[in-house]
Chains A and B, each alone.
Chain A
Amino acid sequence: MYNLYTRTGFAVLTLLPLSMAQANEMNPDVSVVLDGFYKQNHTALSHREKGIGLGHSELSLSAPIDDLFEGRLTAALESHEGETEVGLEEAFLQTTGMPYNLSVRGGRFFSQVGYLNGRHLHEDDFVERPAAYRALLGSHYFDDGLRLNLLLPTPVYWQIGAEAFNGNGLSEGDEDIGVYTINTRIGSDISTSQSWQAGLSYLRNRQLHDGEHEEEHGGEHEEHEEHGHGGHGAEYLGENLYMADLVWKWAPDGNNRSQQLTLSGEYLYADELGEHASSDDRHEGWYASAVYQFAPQWSVGVRHGQVELKEAHGDHFDDQNLEETDVMLGWSRSHFSTVRLQYTHQEADGFEKADNTVMLQYVMSFGAHGAHGF
């Protein structure tokens, strides 16, 4: 929904590196992420086409604005059938000087619902987000709005947050505040080697009241799948979306450079699917993933997940079900380069394109050193 593919946009992006060349303290941090892949077969609910292609190329600028604000701008370039689309993924300011560990973010940004949604795609351990994320959040839900976060003065880490968005990143509608979310996150260390984090999120989509949404859904659904826009509008929606996530990490002596095991899982549940849905209709999905970085440059991972969906067809819903297992081997020459081989197995009811596929992907970044969270 946010793709404005323009030549001018492209021109601006190509000019930026030139102005960077004269290193200057005032210049913002610039970072670029390159993502390319080969995919053997089509798969269901995928945002990556079969064959050789480019994934999510990103150009990001960030800097302190003054002593109270910092800002970030991220443009994502995606290529579909010979056309380059420039999408604005992030354009936000964040406060740095609020009392009581409060922070406010305004503009366009990733919603912080769930564990994965707030992260950039290039931080992921697998080529694509779990099926439940692709169906219910369009891989990563971002939108225009305002966020308020508060860290509670408790001995363990406990964050609560609320976001208000215009909602057009998920579905069309006339509401000023089309989507709001509330979420909380706690976490701590169990020992030097182990740490964990758990989160609960609720997302309310207020735009599903108006009937026009389902029309768009039923009619354009197939086309959406063909084009596979990276994260622009979810394909399956509910007025309420509930999410629970849990992450546990283990690294001997806490030295995650040499070895690290990460177990993570999420559960997503959406109900109130629209006008024609009965009260029993719902979308439901989950995944569990284990990634073991067994040497500084090598990691293996396995992920299994399932999503049960209701596909809208005019005045009724059809059942769809997709079960997905991914196995991954990754090699990172340095902190900035990753090459990944992945095999994905899909079993589906109600999807035409479900298949098994091998994928080979690279994710490389240059420019500023991105700081990654837990």
Chain B
Amino acid sequence: MDFKRLFAATLLGLAALPAQAAIKVFACEPEWADLTRALVPDADIHTATSARQDPHYIEARPSLISAMRRAHIAVCTGASLEAGWLPALISRASNREIQPGKPGLFFAAEQVSLHQPHNHVDRSMGDVHPEGDPHIHLDPDRLPSIVNALADRLAALAPDDEHAIRLRQRQWQVRWKLETAKWREAATSLEGLSVAVQHSNFGYLLRWLGVEPSIDLEPKPGLPPSASHLSEALADPALDRVRLILIASYQGERPAQWLASKTELPVEILPGTVTDQPETDTLAKLISHIIDRLEHHHRTAEHG
């Protein structure tokens, strides 16, 4: 029984963890700070963005340059999510460890296959990334590979801590497997639920759950909802199946509230990534929280 062996290793490992030397990490988004912390709890982590911010539009401001100057490794999403600011930061920080192609620059999106890669993109399609949809951080099946790759990278940077990092990695994988089993159970009840979204932030998780994002408030990826597009959405027959309008906490509420006022659909505003609130302060808790909220609305819609 693999599970039992892993569990034993996990429990034994907890007692035997050596002290970690503080490795300095620049995390582009809070989800990667969370994974890094799970592997190296003592890491000195600077998180560049928060759940209240749109990660596509950040400025290469002085405090970020300074944080990147100090860091040993930058852990980012990649797939052009940070194309508007990360290259400027890398160039200005002149940190020779954190450069394209160096081990000090880790891109999560390079560790997994992405949804919807495009052979041809142009900007009339909106802000579409040729590499594919970069919002991978809520995908229960893709995160384990990212954690494994991140553990490899961190262990190579801090060889003295390799033993501890490997133990934490196994612990994380065990916990994740247990969580995933719970989520899969929830998914059976959510399957077929239809929601309206704004951008593809929750796309990977919704797909995994079998929840259909049948309406997008954005006219094109990356463009803010316009009045004309919202009226089109209102007339869309797919709206009849929608039970919930789901937006991320960094997005303006007004378009969602407008659609809600016309349709009496509930609006759910959820953090798009890990926050410092206790109910969503790790990726696992965040995914559980999102699923809870979806289940809540699903039940209400069925019984109401």
Contact A155-B96, Cβ < 8 Å, known A189-B61, A336-B123: no
Report whether A373 and B94 are in contact in the complex, using a CB–CB cutoff of 8 Å: no
B83: interface (CB < 8 Å) = yes
Give every chain B residue within 8 A of A155 (Cβ-Cβ): 66
- Complex: how many Å from CA A197 to CA B95? 20
* CB contact list, A31-80 vs B, under 8 A: 64, 67, 70
B53 within 8 A of A: yes
User: Which chain B residue has the least Cβ–Cβ distance from A185?
Assistant: B62
Instruction: Note all chain A residues with C-beta closer than 8 A to B93.
Output: 101, 151
Structural contact, B53 and A255, CB atoms closer than 8 A: yes
The answer to whether A67 and B101 touch across the interface, beta carbons within 8 angstroms, is yes
CB neighbours (8 Å) of A255 from chain B are 52-54, 250
Instruction: Give the segment of B84-92, B145-153, B231-239 that binds chain A.
Output: B84-92
Within 8 Å CB of A258, what residues of B? 54, 250, 252
Given contacts A253-B52, A336-B123, A371-B88, contact A157 B101 (CB under 8 A): no
Given contacts A253-B53, A334-B123, contact A149 B59 (CB under 8 A): no
Most chain B beta-carbon neighbours within 10 Å: one of A99, A157, A188, A366: A157
Chain B: interface residue count, which band? Answer: 35 or more
**Nearest Cβ on chain B to A65's Cβ, whole angstroms:** 12
Contact A374 B54 (CB under 8 A): no
Cross-chain contact A151 with B69 (CB below 8 angstroms): yes
A3 on the B face (CB < 8 A): no
Q: Does A217 contact B (CB under 8 A)?
A: no
> Which of B94, B100, B252 has most A Cβ within 10 Å?
B94
The yes or no answer to A98 lying at the interface (CB within 8 A) is yes
Minimum Cβ distance to chain A for residue B8 (Å): 44
Beta-carbon contacts under 8 Å, A335-356 to B: 335-336
Partner among A98, A149, A197, A295 whose Cβ is within 8 Å of the Cβ of B62 = A197
Q: Mark A154-173, 1 if CB is under 8 A from B, else 0.
A: 11110100000000000000
Q: Judge whether A371 and B224 touch: CB under 8 Å.
A: no
Check A316 for interface membership: any CB of B closer than 8 A.
no
- A-chain residues with CB within 8 Å of residue B63 when the two chains form the complex: 156-157, 187-189, 195
Give B contacts to A, CB under 8 Å. Answer: 49-50, 52-54, 56-63, 65-66, 69-70, 80, 83-89, 91-96, 99-102, 123, 126-127, 222-224, 250, 252
A residues within 8 Å of B by Cβ?
Answer: 64, 67, 70, 94-99, 101-103, 149, 151, 153-157, 159, 185-189, 192, 195-197, 249, 253-258, 295-297, 333-336, 366, 369-374
CB-CB nearest 9 A-B residue pairs: A187-B62, A157-B62, A253-B52, A257-B54, A371-B88, A257-B57, A157-B66, A371-B87, A103-B94
